[in-house]
Amino acid sequence: MITNSFGFYLIIAGFVSLLILRFYRGKYWAIFLILGIGFFALRMSMKEVTILIGNRLSEDYLTFNRNHEYNYKNGSKEIISIEDNTLINDTEDYLVVEKLEYSTYASYTSGDNVVMDIPPYSHVQLINSIDYFYSQPPDTISVKNGGTTTRFWIHE
């Protein structure tokens, strides 16, 4: 697994290659086109993995692997099937994913909107990405006139 910042550098490299292609009119223009598209395709083919490591910290990684053998801090090993939005709980905390709904006329609702429970030293495939890790979500957010939006919050 590689860090998520490396994926950002791949996108920047693709953009720079296409930018050079825009201004470069030499006989090697096809190389810059292939590099630019290749860097973008490489980044988009990677799967995102979030690992909760304790002390309310998380780390984001990217991987090409469909399966990854992960060693938890408690000594157990598990082969994890990697898909988009894979979350690995490498803590001894029981966690809850909660759905928050914001609208133009009301702040978020919570309490009875538990989407899933995550036991310690386990992994889950999330349907939606997490917007708030541990920290209390804001009471209100900017929503277009008459609209609603849903966010997800993970906490103990």
Note the pLDDT tens digit of each residue in 13-47. Answer: 888 888 887 777 777 788 888 888 998 898 888 88
Residues of the chain predicted below pLDDT 70: 105-111, 146
Closest CA to 85 of 135, 152, 5: 152
pLDDT of residue 47: 87
Buried-exposed string 124-146: b where 16+ CB fall within 10 A, e elsewhere: bebeeebeeebeebeeeeeeeee
pLDDT of residue 90: 92
Place of tokens 């099937």: 81
- Output the pTM of the full model: 0.77
Distance CA 26, CA 129 (A): 43
Distance CA 124, CA 131 (A): 16
CA distance 62 to 48: 5
